[in-house]
Amino acid sequence: MTKYLVQKFFWLREKSLIQISQKTLVSLFPFFLFSGIIRVIALSVFSDRGYIHQLFSMDSWLPWDQAISQVLINFSNFLGGLAGPLATYFAGKYTAGHYGRSTGTAGVTALLVSLIVGSQELLVGPLHDGQLTRINLPATTNIVLAIFLGYLIGQIFRLSKASDDQIVDKDFIYQPKTVRPIFLSLVLGVSLNLLLVLGNQFNIFQTIRQFLASLTVSSHHLLSTFVIGLFSSLYAWFGNSQAFALNSIADDNFALENLTYAVTHHTTTGIPHLYTLTNLYRSFGLVSGVGAVLALLVAILLVSRSQKDKKVSLLSIFPSLFNNGASFMVGIPVLLNLLYVIPFLLIPLVNMVIAAIALCLKLMPAAVYPVPDGTPSLLYAFIGTGGSLRALAVSILCFTVDVLLYLPFVRMGNRIRKDLKVKGESDEAI
């Protein structure tokens, strides 16, 4: 099995799209790192609903806390909104460079196309009110789709003549032929924007979302919870930024019913819904973060031979502790990485199984109480149960199991790096 996975890894590594995707993801690391750190500080420290804010009663002695929180959140959202355009920029740049074309021109063109595609007002605004269009950064994005768009732009430059993508010649004279790949790229951007507009007009995307939501519906609530947990991990592995958003108890109707019952009866015994997203996935499936990346971080620090991966892990400790592992996932990278896809998808389910057994055997109470924003993932169940040490013990057990399950895959990464060195290839991004 191990030999087969290694062979598949080497086969995928030879594909230009995979190579470019890996380079792009690693290039995004500092932006995700800064965004994650700022967001954690904004939500946990300065927000009045934040964990550290409430723990130290910062309302009583910290002035301008809410204003600071809003500024930091806005800045984090700004950096997060740039994730898609930046991914497209780097992908376009690296694709053009891969085929010997102008990286600067292709990268900037890809960035512009990404902004065009992401701006809903480009075509909708003039149709509705005739106002000038505005370019708005998207609230959420799919990193993989952004990379693929940049890859397409790079291919447009690749298929053009080498002289077509040079803005100036050696004598600094403008080259009119440059407009060819740029024009084709802009046409592609407007066309994709038109398709998105038509999709929204005819409710195509809403229908798709409803269909996907229906896949998680089951007469057996426990099964539905596991399916939703699996889909959430899968979305994250494919680079959907929505998967990294902090989930609130307000998004779980069953959790709200449990909270009402607990407040009314002053006990969690006999709650109407035992196996909810809050009780299982958010409290224990995410005990090591999305895809249990915090456990992977620890496993890398323990046994990895890659100095790059260890450095990324050390820099990502702070945001990852607070369930913001996006920077770690692009820095390693974990996204689109076959080496880690199996544990990334399955380990959260293992945690949920452990939690479900503990709940069934009444070894711990259910997590029914609201948890402050920016709470470290390991403490989510502890706080959600009203301070149950048994729930904390189960969380620590899950985290320990997660680390142990990731160790073989990190060691497999060491083996792959060794084989790459034998072949004389770079092992910086696997």
Query: Any bridge partners for residue 142, and if so which?
Result: 240
Q: Which two tokens stand for residue 114?
A: 């990404």
Confidence at residue 246, expressed as pLDDT on a 0 to 100 scale: 45
255-270 pLDDT tens trace: 778 888 888 888 778 8
User: What pLDDT, on a 0 to 100 scale, did the predictor assign at position 152?
Assistant: 95
Q: What DSSP string runs through 214-261?
A: HHT--SSHHHHHHHHHHHHHHHHHTTBGGGGSPPPGGG-HHHHHHHHH
Neighbours of 377 (CB within 10 A): 24
pLDDT value at position 405? 97
Low-confidence ranges of the chain (pLDDT < 50): 219, 246-250
Per-residue pLDDT tens for 55-99?
Answer: 888 888 888 888 899 999 888 888 888 888 999 999 999 999 988
Amino acid identity, position 253: N
The whole-number pLDDT of residue 249 equals 47
**pLDDT score of 263:** 83
Q: What is the pTM of this model?
A: 0.87
Q: What is the pLDDT of residue 310?
A: 95
State which amino acid sits at residue 347. Answer: I
